Structure 1
Amino acid sequence: MLAEHFSAYTQWRGDVATGIEELRKWLHLNEIGDAQSDLRLQYLLDRLREDKLIVAFVAEFSRGKSELINAVFFAGYGNRILPSSAGRTTMCPTELQWKAGDKPEIRLLPIESRKTNASITELKRYPEEWQIRPLDTSSAESLQQALAQVGETRLVSRAEADQLGFPVDENGDTGLRPDAAGEIEIPRWRHAIIQFPHPLLEQGLVILDTPGLNAIGAEPELTLNLLPNAHAVLFILAADTGVTQSDLAVWREHVNAGRRQRGRLVALNKIDGLWDGLRSEADIEREISGQVASVADTLDIDPSQVYPVSAQKGLVAKVNNDEDLLARSRIVELEEALSTELLPTKRDIVRDNTYGDVNDIVNRSRELLNARLTGLREQLQELTDLRGKNQNVIEYMMRKVRSEKDEFEQGLQKYYAVRSVFSNLSNNLFGHLGLDALRDETRRTREAMLDAAFSRGLREAMKGFFEHLRGNLRKSTDEVGEISKMLDAMYKRFTV
């Protein structure tokens, strides 16, 4: 169900890109477009090709989250792909994605990278910071063994756990609980990116698999960036536990922090625990309906946003082609809800953004065509007025047209020269004030501060940082002055 809807969305997105490409060719063929319009259309095409659809799965441990991902996306492989067993199987945030040119592999970011204070987004720009493990996609068993690495852990002292940003609590209520030896079990990896050639991932779907509350809270980027940017968030609960205090904390602090209702769904998993053979179907249905109502009331959402499912039975039903078991697992209703909530919202966003840019370009082209039409009508009127007059007047008009044409071409050449100089000066200006320059300088300063043993070293690092910024500002002021002088001179030249 979800695959069919997603394929339809991908086809729609491809049709939009085709229409934009046809518009771009028509503008070029009729010499209507300019460099700016062409760049804007190229940007739209690149944005459509790189368009991603992010679905985040959020839950505390042992709620069947990985099993639900297997049932919804990977049942076609005839086995579990993501590790799914009792206890914690996902220890770090994991992205499943694929784009043209990728290799099947797992990219693992060591947990020690937290000591650098660099964000995950920033570290994605530095491949040397990641450990890369190849994936054998020809065997489900090999995939299982490779993907099990995202659940690896290691034991550290309490001091190191604090240094890495993990909260520690003796009772395990608000942080990680030490073992009998006083050591803390933490994830071996900070983040994992699984590049996997799955049909839906190839079409732009990105699956975000998150760990439990303690790991989410220890990685602020999940709360500030990854989860808010997800187009749909599926929050998984277990029917045998209901909404626990930690579940409620995850929901309030991370999933529903912005009170955003659209694209936020709740899956009440493990309803097969009610199939004990002693209750009638009517009793089971009443029990499920009661739990759905209770969950909706606790989370303060509409009951229609809560979907009772059995991920394990849904996976088994898909693998064995058991239609009756599939219907009883209710996994299809959840997939349909994901399609209904996710795809129309994403399509609206893409349509609105694309329409705004294309409409602006079309309006500008229409204005240019109207100006050309007005000029042709004026020339036609002049030619009509010349009908029956002597040859000298006609030759004069032809010379006038040639002169205006030569003057226009000379002005156009001057314009292109000025634009080239302006682009170079602008690039220099961005080199002084751009985010990349500021980010690199901040990174160098942070490393210098971390290496400093005394406060004098910290002061020197901060002093160097601000001196460098002042230098860039002085250079930028000179560049702005030069650009202003050049533009004033060219304005006077073109207005003469």
Structure 2
Amino acid sequence: MRNLEFKDQMHEYALWRAKVVQAIEMYHQWRIRYGMNDPHSTNTILNAISNLQTDRITLAFVAEFSRGKTELINALFFAETGVRLLPSTAGRTTMSPTELFYDEEGGSYIRLLNIESRLEDISLAELKQQPQRWTQFKLDSNSPGQMQEAFKELCATKMVDRQVADKLGLWNDRLAAEQGVVNPEKVEIPCWRHALISFPHPLLQQGLCILDTPGLNALGTEPELTLNMLPSAQAIVFVLAADTGVTKSDMDMWMNHVCLTRGGNKQGLAVVMNKIDAMWDDLAGERGYQDAINSQIKTAAATLKLDEAAIFPVSAKQALLGKVKNDNAVLEKSRLAALEQYLSRDILNQRRTILMGSLVRDIGFLVNESSSITELAMTNAGKQLEEFKKIDFENHDMTAKLMAETRDRQQLYMANIENFQASRRVFSVQAKMLIDSFSKEKIDPIIRSTRTDMAKSLTTFGMKQNMRKLFDDLRDLLQDSIDITNETRRLVKAIHKKFKDEYGFKEIEPPLFSIKPYQVELEQVFAEGEAFRLSAKTTMTEQSLVIHKLYSTLIAKARNVLRQAHADAISWSNGVLTPLMHQIKDHKKQIESRMQLLRKINDSKGSVAEKIALLEAEIDPLKRQKDELAMMIRAMQLDAVVKERA
């Protein structure tokens, strides 16, 4: 599959996203038009729209130095520029992690973060929100040559004192000794810690984001890459060199940085066996060449414990040459097509499935609620029509009796309102307990006090014990929240059941707040923290640097998980009783409509047939309302959700 087809797939994916966004916006207007809107549902819908509009497909490329990773990125995405856009020639190794995307507001630029920022107690994610902290160069997207020149800065290095390199985590005595370097005064280090590149390439405009990570040393010294950025990527492409196979450092990266980020899940994980052209042997011929490639794939699959189908033999050099020269024979020889097909078909489909899953989770309940209430209104209107058809409206006593019954229903409605308000007051108390269990007032003191204790520790052992205590305290805090969550869930179920049993409301199963997703995320953070705590590197690293790394990555991540739980608990508690409120409002509307109809019929001088026609006309708006909703449910592709819960 050629790059043009991948571009087409991305374009089709972007169009699909835009259509779903349009359908959700129409659904929002529908809720407003028919009086089903409320602040919680508006917020939920607008968030869903924002998530779709800002969605990016992130492909992360991971490899040890000299595996041809950047050349592969050039071949896959930027060959039509006619140049080797990103620096990937010998002696031009990318030194800093690089993100490529399109920032419509910011335009075309390359932003570079100085390496010394590692010493600051601020995360990379926070630094991205401070453009003034970055060195910025403008890019001319119409001049590949100018961009090519600007990108050479990604390889920039400088000489610093060995002590400075050590503080920055860029010096390793053991590795240096292995290379015959002992106690040098000056050490060569990268100038830049991280690079952000934005320009209007068609694929980047469609929402593609590329993460290019340097070798093992960068991953080891930038924990945010492994802990935050790689896990959020839709796919990780791990690049090996066919002529060397899986080396010790490759295996280290695979086990500690690639597999760890996927949590054991191999979905969205591909291995590229690059530089297959180096295996060509004129004497062995095509058969020997293929056998050599198959042998390396088989060995790599066994070593990495991966299916052979997930390993793609490629020559990035031939692929780039074939595309630039428009030489199909060379391009075919590169075997890039299978990898492009995997990226365009499997990864985009996986992302679409994930987005639909998020959509079902975010607004599936609202759509189902709308469908249930609309269906109920239609059913009640139909029953009322059948009831009225059998009544002699010439009998004024009968009409008066019906009007009296309707007034009794109004009294019952007032009781509904009082009971609902009482139930909501009880729920508010319980919901506050749930929300407070995740509040920063509970979390921050634990994190602050542990940091103080760690800094005071005189030994590495003492520091590690405090680290362990922090994880245990956060785990205990979460356990308290689990108990409160279970009690809150029981209360919500009881309130919904009460209104179903006592007032005949349709039972619309409310979405129940679940703490499990946050529990799973935190346990993963704790597992990563335990590995960090027990690692030999932590023992050998200067104490203040260890604390900084821990707090700028793992603890920041744990705090974000709990912050998200807090925000989600607030959102859920604001909306979980909304279906009851909507049914009460709808019940009121039905009573008022019934009373109005009875008055019209009573005052009408027309025939019985004319009165029946008047009743039937009242159902037409409900039919239109139902048909409009059905059309929007199809456009949002949520038909299955409504059928499942019908």
TM-score (norm 2): 0.61
Query: Aligned pair in 2 of structure 1 residues 211, 88: CA closer, same or farther (>3 Å)?
Result: farther
Displacement of 1:75 = 0.5
Among residues 218, 221, 226, which one is paired with 1:218 in the alignment? 221
Displacement of 1:182 = 2.8
Instruction: Supply the AA of the counterpart residue of 1:202.
Output: Q
Query: Secondary structure at the residue paired with 2:231?
Result: coil
Aligned-CA RMSD value: 4.3
Instruction: Supply the AA of the counterpart residue of 1:32.
Output: M
Q: Does 1:65 align with 2:57?
A: no
Instruction: Supply the AA of the counterpart residue of 1:348.
Output: T
Given that 1:60 and 1:211 are in contact with CA atoms closer than 8 Å, whether structure 2 keeps it comes out as yes
**Counterpart in the other structure of 2:569:** none
Identity within the alignment, %: 40
Among residues 93, 101, 112, which one is paired with 1:108 in the alignment? 112
Given that 2:64 and 2:250 are in contact with CA atoms closer than 8 Å, whether structure 1 keeps it comes out as yes
Given that 1:94 and 1:191 are in contact with CA atoms closer than 8 Å, whether structure 2 keeps it comes out as yes
Query: Aligned pair in 2 of structure 1 residues 104, 441: CA closer, same or farther (>3 Å)?
Result: farther
Q: Does 1:94 align with 2:98?
A: yes
Instruction: Supply the AA of the counterpart residue of 1:50.
Output: T
Query: Aligned pair in 2 of structure 1 residues 37, 382: CA closer, same or farther (>3 Å)?
Result: same
Q: Does 1:247 align with 2:231?
A: no
Query: Aligned pair in 2 of structure 1 residues 177, 348: CA closer, same or farther (>3 Å)?
Result: farther
| Cα displacement string for residues 284-340 of structure 1 (whole angstroms, at most 9, x for unaligned residues) | 111111111122222221222111111011101001111111110101111112234
Distance in 2 of aligned mates of 1:278 and 1:180: 48
1:427-446 residue pairs with structure 2 within 5 A? none
Distance in 2 of aligned mates of 1:353 and 1:388: 52
Query: Aligned pair in 2 of structure 1 residues 169, 291: CA closer, same or farther (>3 Å)?
Result: same
**Counterpart in the other structure of 1:478:** none
Given that 2:162 and 2:184 are in contact with CA atoms closer than 8 Å, whether structure 1 keeps it comes out as no
| Cα displacement string for residues 62-107 of structure 1 (whole angstroms, at most 9, x for unaligned residues) | 1111110000000011111101111452111110011432310011
Query: Secondary structure at the residue paired with 1:315?
Result: helix
1:137-176 residue pairs with structure 2 within 5 A? 137-172=141-176
**Counterpart in the other structure of 2:41:** 37
Among residues 304, 309, 315, which one is paired with 2:314 in the alignment? 309
Displacement of 1:171 = 3.5
Instruction: Supply the AA of the counterpart residue of 1:267.
Output: V
1:312-327 residue pairs with structure 2 within 5 A? 312-327=317-332
Bigger helix share: 2
Which runs of 5 or more residues in structure 2 are unaligned?
457-646
Query: Aligned pair in 2 of structure 1 residues 211, 438: CA closer, same or farther (>3 Å)?
Result: farther
Moved more, 194-203 or 123-132: 123-132
Instruction: Supply the AA of the counterpart residue of 1:106.
Output: I
Which runs of 5 or more residues in structure 1 are unaligned?
453-496
1:247-286 residue pairs with structure 2 within 5 A? 247-257=250-260, 258-275=263-280, 277-286=282-291
Query: Aligned pair in 2 of structure 1 residues 43, 171: CA closer, same or farther (>3 Å)?
Result: closer
Query: Secondary structure at the residue paired with 1:172?
Result: helix
Displacement of 1:354 = 1.2
Pairs aligned (count): 456
Instruction: Supply the AA of the counterpart residue of 1:359.
Output: G
Among residues 293, 299, 302, which one is paired with 1:297 in the alignment? 302
**Counterpart in the other structure of 2:22:** 18
**Counterpart in the other structure of 1:188:** 191
Given that 1:92 and 1:192 are in contact with CA atoms closer than 8 Å, whether structure 2 keeps it comes out as yes
Q: Does 1:352 align with 2:357?
A: yes
1:397-412 residue pairs with structure 2 within 5 A? none
Given that 1:169 and 1:177 are in contact with CA atoms closer than 8 Å, whether structure 2 keeps it comes out as no
Given that 2:75 and 2:319 are in contact with CA atoms closer than 8 Å, whether structure 1 keeps it comes out as yes
Given that 1:170 and 1:178 are in contact with CA atoms closer than 8 Å, whether structure 2 keeps it comes out as no
**Counterpart in the other structure of 1:466:** none
Query: Aligned pair in 2 of structure 1 residues 376, 333: CA closer, same or farther (>3 Å)?
Result: closer
Among residues 235, 239, 254, which one is paired with 1:236 in the alignment? 239
Displacement of 1:344 = 2.0
TM-score (norm 1): 0.78
